[in-house]
Structure 1
Amino acid sequence: MNQRIAAVLLVLVTVFAGVPAPVAADHDGQCSFPMTVTDATGTEVTMSEDPERVVTTNPSAAQTMWEIGAKDEVVGVSQFAQYLDGASEKANVSGSGGLSVEAVIGLEPDVVLVPNTTYTVEKDRIAQLRDAGLTVVVFESGDSLEAVADKVERIGRITGNCEAGTERADEMRTSIENMERALEDVERPVGLNVFFGYAAGGETFISEIMTTGGLRNGAAEAGFTGFGEINEELVVEMNPEYLVVPSHAPIPSSPAYNSTTAIEEGNVVVVDANNLQQPAPRAIDASETILKAVHPDAYERYQELQNQSETTETTTTTSETTTATPETTAGEQDATATADDPQTTESSAPGFSAVAAVVALALTAFVGRRL
């Protein structure tokens, strides 16, 4: 197994391990600057002005900036964000041994967005950025789709894109609600997310991607929490009816997996890894992919509900624009832009074996930047 596959195999060891307890954000209730927030490390971070130069150390943060229409503000991305349209035009802040502190400092960013995966494996380098006087915000682990939506709003606020962040987060919430409505009274088969012998259990955003898409997470129901190696005996006992596999991973093939209903009936859902394995807005696309494959009739109903939601939103916006005075409209926009509930999410430990943890530490120079 080459180094890249080994790194992908162990990448989730670090996603939920060693992350500081998330802290509620201190917001002043306005999308205005100066702004002070408390990040996941408990550090109070102040942005004196609306940031114009943003560095993202991880593809999930970059994807979020792209999804809220703020990619022009991004001056630096990691090597794993190159799938984003236009990312190749940005400076690469990844070095041969991990995050390049020199590259980040050289870009003179107004703010550096650090998802928990980067912080977990590169605490010393993040400390160096802070020691150099850079404004750094570390984010909580996204262990649910709601936590991901909250993070989208928070990134919008921190980067001066409040309205766009709130709008994109609300779109996510609407999609989740419409999928839930489309799946009412629909029987959900047992599914298993598997990649290189590892699986996503309960208390993970991938688990919610699966359940939102109309599956039961067999690993979670078996008491499997976080991310970790999946025992093939458990796979046989679970007998998943569907396998959910990220696009960069092979479909598992062994006597244990071949005996499952999923393999016997060809029920393997391959999902774009950049949607499935990043706690960012396109996680909703991963749920849609699963829903379409597992419940095609419910997917059609979901599409109808989505169209109705879009029509309602358009009608409401048009009505408000037509009837509201300029002062009222501005006030409504301010209220929308400033709506933000302080969030507190919890990290979950994957429960890897000691051997896996040791191997993970050996690969930390490569690992934490893939998700």
Structure 2
Amino acid sequence: MRRQLTVILTVLLTVSAIGPAAAGAGTGTGAAVQDSEAQCEYPLTMTDATGENVTIEDEPESVVTLYPGDAQLAYSIGAEDKVVGMPVGQYTESLEAGDRTDITEDDGVTPVAEEIINLNPDVVLAANVALYNQDLLERLEDAGITVVVLDTATSLDDVRENVRVTGQVTGECESAEETVQWMNERLEIYEDALANESAPLAYYDGGESGDTHGMETFQHDVMTAAGLENLAASVGESGWVELNSEVVVNEDPEWIVYPDSDRWDAPPSTADFDGVTAIREDNVVAVDDNAMSQPGPDVVYAIETIIEAVHPDVYGEIEGDLEAVDEEYRDGGNESDDGSESEEDGESSIPGFGVAAALVALLAATGVAARRR
């Protein structure tokens, strides 16, 4: 039998089992700023996911990103120079933390109030899962630290809005909008190329307990944008759920997608899916865990990885277009005073194409992130 996970269990699964998915868990009690033309004008007042008005008096000079997905958001829009504290660990290993303070426990996920308070940042950017740590939020408030809690990202549109709000919070609105435009161009290429392609049924195997995602998750949007039919959604599930292996076997997915991590090198539920078409035909694709589970710009690379594996002919046709989009934004705004382009800037300044995204792109290009077994 299938059963809907409770919100608390979802949070625990995504934090302790998946880690970076924490940014996509939980349910917001309020609405963050929803403004597609967000401006960085201070003082800035917004209503965040707590339902309360938050005011940022001046453009922040120091920022703490509370969870791994928050760090990805800040880095993706070029705000990393303002980040003084962040989670440091496997979920942010590609972000080059440098000498930034690790504000978490040894797990690289759980924030430590004392570390944040000692940094005395101008603002803290927090994923929605922070709502389940009221003690932390109260301690930061008592210390006079401004915290902006992002809404839950239940779609790719929400991911884009997270990018824009991060731009407002960090004073990088223009770069945030460029990042959104870069995402949009890539997503449009995917959509156009897959318009006449069939969408094979696919199951996202998120762990040994059968956790997967249905409708109203940005991961569902990632699957459908990559030209797949999401099995959990097809049987009527929403949010993060536990799906009994019997349901998966009965639905007989043609593909299985799973997070590529140190915990497994094959779909974790393979033993339960004997005879399923995806296993029988070796139609499995590993997607970078952080790109798939953190609601930031790197989701476009998760989509690309799936397309490359499931629709290789389509990918061959659009690969050059994707590279052209990346080149366009990589070159944009990187000229020095004498009109020449800095090699260093040219490597890393593309919106959404920081170190983390570059690593994901490299893995996709070399076939490392999409392994078929």
Q: Return the TM-score normalized by structure 1.
A: 0.77
Q: How does 1:62-77 map to 2 (within 5 A)?
A: 62-77=71-86
CA distance in 1, matches of 2:99, 2:53: 32
Letter in 1 for 2:260: S
Per the alignment, residue 325 of structure 1 pairs with none
Per the alignment, residue 239 of structure 2 pairs with 226
Per the alignment, residue 363 of structure 1 pairs with none
- Aligned-pair identity (%): 35
Letter in 2 for 1:7: S
Q: Of the candidates 302, 317, 322, which is equivalent to residue 286 of structure 1?
A: 302
Is 1:31 matched with 2:43?
Answer: no
Q: Which has the higher helix share?
A: 1
Do the aligned partners of residues 181 and 28 (structure 1) sit closer, same or farther apart at CA in structure 2, a change above 3 Å counting?
A: closer
Do the aligned partners of residues 194 and 132 (structure 1) sit closer, same or farther apart at CA in structure 2, a change above 3 Å counting?
A: same
Q: How does 1:96-135 map to 2 (within 5 A)?
A: 98-117=110-129, 119-135=130-146
Letter in 2 for 1:186: E
Per the alignment, residue 43 of structure 1 pairs with 52
**What is the Cα deviation at residue 19 of structure 1?**
3.4
Number of aligned pairs?
315
Unaligned runs of 5+ in 2: 1-11, 334-373
Per the alignment, residue 138 of structure 1 pairs with 149
Per the alignment, residue 350 of structure 2 pairs with none
**What is the Cα deviation at residue 22 of structure 1?**
2.8
**What is the Cα deviation at residue 306 of structure 1?**
3.0
Do the aligned partners of residues 235 and 13 (structure 1) sit closer, same or farther apart at CA in structure 2, a change above 3 Å counting?
A: farther
Letter in 1 for 2:317: R
**What is the Cα deviation at residue 78 of structure 1?**
1.5
- 8 A Cα contact 1:26 1:38, kept in partner: no
Q: Which has the larger radius of gyration?
A: 1
Letter in 1 for 2:136: R
Per the alignment, residue 87 of structure 1 pairs with 97
**What is the Cα deviation at residue 127 of structure 1?**
1.8
SS in 2 for 1:36: strand
Do the aligned partners of residues 186 and 28 (structure 1) sit closer, same or farther apart at CA in structure 2, a change above 3 Å counting?
A: closer
Between 1 and 2, higher relative CO (CA 8 Å, sep ≥ 6) is seen in 1
Per the alignment, residue 338 of structure 2 pairs with none
Per the alignment, residue 256 of structure 2 pairs with 243
SS in 2 for 1:171: helix
Q: Of the candidates 290, 297, 301, which is equivalent to residue 317 of structure 2?
A: 301
CA distance in 2, matches of 1:199, 1:174: 28
CA distance in 2, matches of 1:17, 1:6: 11
**What is the Cα deviation at residue 228 of structure 1?**
1.7
Do the aligned partners of residues 310 and 283 (structure 1) sit closer, same or farther apart at CA in structure 2, a change above 3 Å counting?
A: closer
Do the aligned partners of residues 89 and 313 (structure 1) sit closer, same or farther apart at CA in structure 2, a change above 3 Å counting?
A: closer
Q: Which deviations, in whole Å up to 9, do the C-alpha atoms of 1:172-224 show, x marking residues without a partner?
A: 11111110001011011011111212111111111111111111101101101
Per the alignment, residue 173 of structure 1 pairs with 184
Letter in 1 for 2:53: E
